[in-house]
Amino acid sequence: MKNIKILLLGVFILSLTSCLKEGRMNIDPSYASNVIELANTGDNFTSSGIPGYYADLGSVKAGASKSFNVNVHYTGPGNAPSDITVTIGIDEATLATYNAKNGTSKVTPPTEAFTFPTQVVIKKGTNQTTVQAVITVSSNFNFSKAYALPIKITAVSTGVISGNYASSVYAFGVRNEYDGVYNYKGYALRAGDAVLTGYFSNKRMNLLTIGANAVQFGSYALWGDGAGGIGIGYPTMTINVAAGSGGVYPVTFESSGGAYNAPGYNVRYEAASKTFFVAGTWGAGPSARLLVDTLTYMNPR
């Protein structure tokens, strides 16, 4: 009986040794495949499935461009043994899967709004190359869209394309040149109300991008007490770039609550000082409801 126990123990040890040797193939780099993948580019914002990243590109003028990184990585024993040419491209199926898994509605921007090299090279002796995806605020760029580039590795000159990290979704945010935090002062009239009628100053207002040449108040406009919000919705200001001259541009002031440019006021944007001079009225008109505000750019949001 004792001899049988010793024999069984010996068989168990041999079996365990064999399992460890087999497991070594999964943890020792010298046994790993030469896998090509898309590496991390900032924080991963996906909750499941395909990796997704976000780049805040800040304010971009119409016709101007900004870029973000796309990292292509070699993972294997050491560095790439030779130059590896990697082909990448847009893959709409990747974006559809990403949206379905994450409950999002991201879309690919117009083709003239982005560029990136479709072939990149991981040089011999290195393990990564970084290329630039360039985003341009083209004429049909829609600031209200949730844009993203679904990029996929489609071919490699040598090695194996990763099964899990061959595709990634690169979302990005762009704000127009008027977007930001503004110093906010002004006058408001509410006829018959001495509390809400008057002047205020040294307030802050976020102006939010809603189009290439339009911004929206981030909160209600203020009454004269500098505290209460005017219940006309969040006002919007549209800059008429084509009609301007000398860096001064007409502005259309309006809101969902019926506000419009107050008659007799020069509602405008002055580019040199980055300042909006606006006047709006609603309801019974400027003799009963009126605001006259000045908003001067301070810093990005």
Q: Check whether residue 147 and residue 231 sit in a common domain.
A: no
Residue 192: its pLDDT value, please? 97
Domain count, the chain: 2
Residue 36's domain is classified under what CATH number?
Answer: 2.60.40.1740
Asked whether the whole model's pTM tops 0.85, one would answer no
pLDDT at position 264 over 80? yes
Q: Check whether residue 161 and residue 273 sit in a common domain.
A: no
Q: What is the CA radius of gyration of the chain?
A: 29
Q: Which is it for the CA torsion 295, 299, 300, 301, positive or negative?
A: negative
66-102 pLDDT per residue, tens: 999 999 999 977 899 999 999 999 999 999 999 999 9
**Residue 2 in domain:** no
What is the DSSP secondary structure assignment for residue 98, as one 8-state letter?
H
Write out the two tokens for 45.
């914002």
CB 217 within 8 A of CB 207: yes
The mean pLDDT of 233-262, rounded to a whole number, is 97
The mean pLDDT of the chain is 89
The mean pLDDT of 151-159, rounded to a whole number, is 97
The mean pLDDT of 228-236, rounded to a whole number, is 97
Q: Check whether residue 194 and residue 269 sit in a common domain.
A: yes
The mean pLDDT of 212-232, rounded to a whole number, is 96
Determine how many CB atoms are found less than 10 A away from the CB of residue 246: 8
**Residue 4 in domain:** no
**Residue 21 in domain:** no
Residue 83: its pLDDT value, please? 97
Q: What CA–CA distance (Å, rounded) separates 243 from 245? A: 7
The mean pLDDT of 199-222, rounded to a whole number, is 97
**Residue 222 in domain:** yes
Q: Check whether residue 40 and residue 169 sit in a common domain.
A: yes
Q: Check whether residue 250 and residue 210 sit in a common domain.
A: yes
Residue 144 to residues 51, 210, 287: CA-CA distances in angstroms? Answer: 23, 6, 36
Residue 32: its pLDDT value, please? 54
Q: Check whether residue 121 and residue 191 sit in a common domain.
A: no
Domain range for 162 is 32-175
